Amino acid sequence: MASAFGHAALGYALGRISFQKTPAKIILLCIACTVIPDADVLGFVFHIPYASAFGHRGFTHSIFFAVLLSLLIIYIFFRKKNDLEMNKTSLFALFFLCTVSHGLLDAMTTGGLGVEFFFPFDTSRYFLPWRPIKVSPLGVSNFFSEWGIMVLKNEFIWIGIPSILLISTRILINRINSRK
Ligand SMILES: [Zn+2]
C-alpha cells in the first residue's frame, strides 16, 4: 500500500476540487473511500493469505468493490432526502473515483503483490508500468521507523504535491468565477 496518509490526501483533494464549495460531509466520505480498501489487512489476523482473492490488495482493491462501496454510501447517506441537493450520479462517480484511486496508487508502489483490479472476473494481480511510490510498511509499529519517514517524504512528492496543485487550481478557478 501507499500509506493511509497518502491515500487520504488524494481523497481530500478529489473531494475538495469536485464542487465549487464541497460540503465537509462529502469530503469526509471521499477520504473514507480512499482509506477503506486497506481494511483487508484485517485478513492477516484471520490467516487469509496475501495472495488469496480476498487477501491484501485483493477484493477490496477491485473496481467491483469500488462500485459496491459507492452505491452503499449513496444508499446510507443520501437515500432519504438529498439534503445537499447534489446529483446522485455525480456523487457516485466521485466516490467511485476516490475508491479506485486507492488501487491505482497501490499499483504504482515499488513492492508487495499487485492489485486485483478485475475481481471477480480475473483474480490476477496487476501493477501499473510506472511505479515511483515507495511501498509503505504494513502495521503501525513498522511505520514509525526510517522506512516510514522515507515513505512519507516520497509520498509528499508523488501524492502531496499533485494534490496541492489540484486544490490550488480549484481555488484559482473559484476566484476567477467569483469576479465574473
Ligand atoms: Zn491498499
Q: Give pLDDT, residue 102.
A: 98
Which pLDDT score, from 0 to 100, does residue 86 have? 79
Give the pLDDT confidence score for residue 37 in this predicted structure: 97
Query: Tens digit of pLDDT per residue, the chain (180 long)?
Result: 679 999 999 999 999 999 989 999 999 999 999 999 999 999 988 999 999 999 999 999 999 999 999 999 999 999 876 556 778 999 999 999 999 999 999 999 999 899 999 999 999 999 999 999 999 887 777 777 888 889 999 999 999 999 999 999 999 999 999 887
Ligand 1 center to 29 CA (angstroms): 17
**Measured CA distances, 4 to 12, 16, 18, 109 (Å):** 12, 18, 21, 13
β-partners of residue 161 are: none
Alpha-carbon distance 63 to 65, whole Å? 5
d(CA 61, CA 76): 21
Tell me, in angstroms, the distance from the centre of ligand 1 to residue 98's CA.
Answer: 13
Residues 91, 11: Cα–Cα separation, whole Å? 13
CA angle 176-21-70, nearest 5°? 130
Question: What's the CA-to-centroid distance between 175 and ligand 1, angstroms?
Answer: 36
| pLDDT value for 129 | 97
| Those residues with Cβ within 8 angstroms of residue 70's Cβ, 6 or more apart along the chain or in another chain | 33, 92, 95, 96, 99
Q: What is the pLDDT of residue 84?
A: 63
Q: Which three cell numbers stand for residue 108?
A: 504504482
Cα of 1 vs centre of ligand 1, distance in Å, is: 4
Q: What is the pTM of this model?
A: 0.92
Distance from the CA of 21 to the center of ligand 1, in angstroms? 29
35 CA distance to ligand 1 centroid (A)? 8
Q: Ligand 1 centre and the CA of 86: distance in Å?
A: 29
Q: Which amino acid is at 3?
A: S
- How many whole angstroms separate alpha carbon 121 and alpha carbon 156? 34
- Gap from CA of 179 to ligand 1 centroid (Å): 42
Beta bridge partners of 115: 126
Please give the distance, rounded to the nearest whole angstrom, from the Cα atom of residue 81 to the centre of ligand 1. 33
Give me the pLDDT at residue 2, please: 79
Whether the bond into 120 is cis, omega within 30 of 0 = yes
Nearest-CA neighbor of 34 among 79, 76, 73?
A: 73
Question: Cell numbers of 82, please?
Answer: 438529498
Burial status of residue 158 (CB atoms within 10 A of its CB: 0-12, 13-18, 19 or more): middle
Q: Quote the ligand 1 centre to 78 CA distance (angstroms).
A: 26
